[in-house]
Structure 1
Amino acid sequence: MPTLVNAVDVRPRVYYRTIQIGPILFEQAPAEDDIVQIPGEGWRLTSSDNDFYPLVRLEVWDGPAPHPSGSWEYEQAFHSPMADHLAVVDLGGVCYGEIQLRPGRYHLRLLCRGRDHVEASLALDPFPPEGPHEDPLEVWVIQIWPNAG
């Protein structure tokens, strides 16, 4: 049974519908979609809103991670060599949290739910919230475990 080695929950501020996660050292960039883009060494996740604080959970497992409970609107799997950490960063370069890794090859699972809470415009909110809502409107989970192959 796989064991959760480490986890961190962060609430980054979203600007221009963007959450950045990295570094992820793709040997060959996977196909992009409307949710995740691969600009360089990492992911650029497209949130459903501007000027708010979703929950982003990073998990490191010692083997294949169990699928988190509940329903998920988006799920994608990736494989990549990884450096010694994975961080959540906003567009201004502010790091909201990171998780330590042993460098090597990993499986990554990206899940999201709550994207339908509001229809976002690209304009920034003139009166953005000063902190996170008590209950996150959007939830992202990134699960990582070593590639045994």
Structure 2
Amino acid sequence: MPHPQLKAEAEFRPAVWFGAFFLSELGSDLPSEHSDRVIGTLACANDTALGFLSGGNDFYPSLRVQRWDHEPAAPFGTDGESGQTTVTFPHGQLQVHTSDGSVYGTLTVPPGHYRARISCRGREHAPAGEYFEEPQDDPAEWWVLQIWPALDE
């Protein structure tokens, strides 16, 4: 198998609202930790959206989104938590947002079916009971979403 090549990367600082933030195809329904695919304690997913389940609330974690040509190595090795799922982006127009629709960035990926690895470290240090109106220097949680084409599914 060829060495995985990073095709694109973007970083976001979304707000955590009610313990979560999302990446979805524009106009997609949001996944629910109660009714859709659950990825450990990290995330939930439906066919066109991912929900990131934070360890805290009312703060701004770091989310790095990476698009690869093949499955890459996990970003934190054995440090942190990680889980995988599949997701389809029919139009490739994605947004990072809260459940109330506040958008913290957009990105475009080639339309298609992807494997997605969600990794996080620092969830145990996420602020609880504090409120931040803007991103802090230290995001407390570091998330990496790696996607690559789902060739065999």
Distance 1:43 1:14 in 2: 14
- Percent of counterpart pairs with the same letter? 30
RMSD of the TM alignment (CA)?
2.5
Pick one of 74, 78, 83 that aligns with 2:81: 74
Count of residue pairs the alignment pairs up: 142
Unaligned runs of 5+ in 1: none
Pick one of 87, 110, 115 that aligns with 1:102: 110
Q: Does 1:135 align with 2:142?
A: no
Distance 2:76 2:43 in 1: 22
C-alpha displacement of 1:116: 0.5
Distance 1:69 1:118 in 2: 18
Matched with 1:20 is 22
With normalisation by structure 2, the TM-score equals 0.78
C-alpha displacement of 1:99: 2.4
Counterparts in 2 of 1:53 and 1:71: CA distance versus 1, 3 Å: farther
Matched with 2:12 is 10
Q: Residue 45 of structure 1 aligns to a residue in which SS?
A: strand
Q: Residue 56 of structure 1 aligns to a residue in which SS?
A: strand
Q: Residue 116 of structure 1 aligns to a residue in which SS?
A: helix
Q: Residue 9 of structure 1 aligns to a residue in which SS?
A: strand
C-alpha displacement of 1:71: 4.2
C-alpha displacement of 1:30: 3.2
Q: Does 1:44 align with 2:44?
A: no
Counterparts in 2 of 1:118 and 1:136: CA distance versus 1, 3 Å: closer
Unaligned runs of 5+ in 2: none
